[in-house]
Structure 1
Amino acid sequence: MKKLLILLSAIILGLSACTKSNTEKVEPFDAAKQAAEDDAKIQAYIKANNLTPVKDASGLYYQVMTPGTGANATSNSTVNVNYTGKLLDGSQFDSGNFTTSLNANANIIEGWKIGLTHINKNGRILLLIPSALGYGNRSPGAGVPANSVLVFVVDMLSIQ
């Protein structure tokens, strides 16, 4: 019986050591602070890479690298693109060919819905997407940390 009490005490002691302290504070997410940090990171990236992008009212930066032809895509368009996605440190997290709608219900990041309306067929655009217009304060996996600024180079193949 004594051995059982000692074993039970050891288990309880071990489990209690694994719990979090109630005094540990978790900071709430501050969207305005994150937006300012993202903008500072984007400004530094622009300067380091000698870019001349335009800042959209949403906070997205874009630079048309190759003008295309015809009308720009709209929020009602379906587009086919080739793209490469990187982080500010240059590490690539995605690339490929993709067909998607740009409407509000499309399952793509907001930065694409906004940015791809600034380009037309056969054009190429650079998108510098603040975290709020990307994956926000969560990580989608694939080596993309939460609150990441995203860099996309997108070739617009077709617009419907």
Structure 2
Amino acid sequence: MKKVLLLGGMIIAVLAACSKKESTQENFDHVAQYDKDSVSITSYLKAKNITASHDPRGIFWNIIDSGDQKNKPNQNANVTVEYKGTFLNGTGFDSSKSVSFDLNRVIPGWTIGMQKIGKGGRIQLFIPSYYAYMQYGQGSVPPNTPLVFDVKLINLQVK
């Protein structure tokens, strides 16, 4: 009987937490946050004298080396990359010398941005929080934080 009550209490707590999260998400103004992030990214690019392109979905990028244009990833590709992630203030929060993953299993900013270069290419991605960790944050990344990644595409396997 105690197990049933405990389980029932846990289910109610989970449902209440989900309800609060959905309510917070519904009340969150993604457009206003995207506008704020775009201003921050544009200011960053200007201060660093970086000429970047802008995707209609909201990603900014600077291709340093386009790589092999005949060997580009799609959104389902498995990629091996070397990267460094920083905040707009230059503070690093993540990096790897060689890591592999499916592009459809990472933040949308990576999924969109990495399809712009080919094997051996290098790109800088400037990602608004909406295409990263949104209003939730993740690990050392605070909520509503635009991110900068310098990424080299070492290898890929198109699926």
TM-score normalised to structure 2 length:
0.78
Partner Cα separation in structure 2 for residue 76 and residue 92 of structure 1? 27
Output the CA distance in 1 between the equivalents of 2:93 and 2:76.
28
2: distance between equivalents of 1:72 and 1:62? 16
Q: Give the match for residue 79 of structure 1.
A: 79
Residue 159 (structure 1) shift: 1.2
Match of 1:129 in 2: 127
Q: How many positions carry a matched residue from both structures? A: 130
Structure 1 runs of 4+ aligned residues shifted over 3 Å read none
Aligned to 1:88: 88
Q: What is the alpha-carbon distance in structure 2 between the residues aligned to residue 31 and residue 139 of structure 1? A: 14
The residue aligned with 1:68 is: 67
- Give, in whole Å, the separation in 2 of the partners of 1:74 and 1:141: 27
AA of the residue aligned to 1:148: T
Residues of 2 paired with 1:113 and 1:141: CA distance?
Answer: 20
Q: Using a 3 Å threshold, how does the CA distance of structure 1 residues 76 and 141 change in structure 2: closer, same or farther?
A: closer
Counterpart for residue 43 of structure 2: 44
Q: Distance in 2 between matches of 1:116 and 1:94?
A: 17
Q: How does 1:1-160 map to 2 (within 5 A)?
A: 28-69=27-68, 70-96=70-96, 97-103=98-104, 106=105, 108-142=106-140, 144-160=141-157
Give the TM-score taking structure 1 as reference length: 0.78
**Cα root mean square deviation, aligned:** 1.3
Alpha-carbon distance in 1 for matches of 2:56, 2:114: 14
Displacement, 1:138? 1.2
User: Which AA in structure 2 matches 1:139?
Assistant: G
User: In the TM superposition, what is the alpha-carbon distance from 1:132 to its structure 2 partner?
Assistant: 0.3
Shift of residue 147, structure 1, vs aligned partner: 0.3
Query: Aligned-pair distance for 1:95?
Result: 0.2
CA distance in 2, matches of 1:148, 1:98: 23
